Structure 1
Amino acid sequence: MTADADVRAWWQALGLPGLIDLHVHFLPERMERRVWHHFDNGGPLMGDGWRIEYRWPVRERLARLREMGVAAFPALAYAHKPGMAADLNAWTLDFARRTPECIPSATFFPEPGVLDYVTRALADGVKIFKVHLQVGAFDPRAPELDAVWGTLAETGTPVVVHASSVPVPGGCVGVEPISGVLRRHPRLRVVVAHLGMPEYDDFFDLARRYERVVLDTTMTFTDFAERGMPFPIRLKEELRVLGLAGKVVLGSDFPTIPHTYAHQLYALERLGMGDDWLRSVCWQNAQGMV
């Protein structure tokens, strides 16, 4: 598979009804411009940055996802300072209401009132949350968040957590901060972004130890990732076992990726894990989560 035009035939050949991608971003226009500026110019949170493959208007990006058969995806806005999460949540909920394929998503930040707006978001139909510990530069073990994590554990609501040192170290990343949360809330449904790249071993261990911790494939195994943060061959068999056990899900980081969407799927296929593994990762494992 070499182009996005091939994606639909690819998943159809697997006997799937489409793809579920749990790591997609749509942001308010002003925020999106600022995020893309960081990708274009690099900086302390981005290293050298990279060229965004899908630097397109929203309508065109949605059309591409639909053409490829991405049947479900969240918007995954994330707060990086106090006072912005509630407004972002209102935006992402409205976006989901206007976009049938979009899974309602929300975010949070350690601040006064955080439990109130998280509870309100759940009541409004949010199915998945996103926090970015590198960009947000906050400790997930902050006292203000303890009741939030507890609520999400009780409701079984997944949280996509950027917890590893990719693209560069910063914030409260690494396995220990989020491990501290899981020790207090072992039933929390954490989706570890990027398979925990580059701290693969640590986050694979987390997935082994906690029933509801899963890993998303975002940018992993692609030519871009393999050049700088290659996946350890010693973990390949464990990746196969975890995927078949429901603990690996498809993620892409669309649209802010330096390659085509099809290349992410090709990178998964060339691992040689087999069709059952691909079906599990690209549809079945996420189907029961959101």
Structure 2
Amino acid sequence: MKQLKKDISKAFIIYAFILSIIESMIDSVFDDFLFPHYEQNDRIGQILFVAYIVISILVFILVAYLFTKAISKRIRAEMHRQIEERNVVFANITHDLKTPITSILGFSRALTEKKLEPEKQSQLVEIIYEKSKRTSELINTMFHYSKLETEMYELRREPMDICRLTREILASQYEIIEEHGILLEVDIPEEEILYPIDKIEYSRAIANLLMNACVHNQLGSTLLVRIEREMNKKVEKLLIVVADNGVPIPDKLKDTLFDAFACGDESRSSKGGSGMGLAISKSIVKKHGGNLKLVEEYQSYIKAFVIEFDI
């Protein structure tokens, strides 16, 4: 939506500039050639003045029509894109919810028939609980993503030491990283780097990147978390890097990597992912005025997810 607003503003400036040029040319023709030539003839002068007004109005109407037509086309394209995107999300929501709900219904029916042994009943109750928990987590994830995508949702930002907070996040996620057999390397400066962030949302974004590295890389992969400053075109940037030497991103996923459900059905079912981690991280970083991008072959690593903030 923000891009659409920018496009409309840009189109308005362009068409206003075109209109001013045409009006200037019309003024020049009438003022320099026609009005001086017939200034002694009042009747022709009046006709020329009326013609000048009519032509100016017609030009304005024409430019306004072309502007409206161009904007309408852009709005329709944006609406079509949003509808298509929403349809994909709804289709994936249906897919991801259907599997656990079907299992819950089937196991619940088996329990109500009371034909199972107590031990088997306990197993089914445990399965139902896990499936229900998974469904609840998925719904909460989808709700949070939808909330992030709305312009009304505002972050609770305050200046915080990004280095210290990131180290705290790593400490809270270290057990999970270790369970996945991932080797963690940390390159975070001891100096204080203040940046206005929403602590909860930033923590969620980093945790998603860490979990993505754990789930999608093989045992024994190395994960690097680095924070550094960089000068880029006279603008100082704060970079938070999450790099690994694991599995490369498939070419077919690169263009849609940060879209919701981008990881595909296989990843969501076999690896337990929702396919929304990177999409949520992207939205959180964007809400902070930053950018999250994929960098391939980052130094000695296969790939890196890099968060950029202007400071």
Q: What TM-score do you get using the length of structure 2 for normalisation?
A: 0.21
Tell me which of the two structures has the higher relative contact order, counting C-alpha pairs closer than 8 angstroms and 6 or more residues apart. 1
TM-score of the aligned structures, taking structure 1 as reference length: 0.22
Whose radius of gyration is greater, 1 or 2? 2
Structure having the higher strand fraction is 2
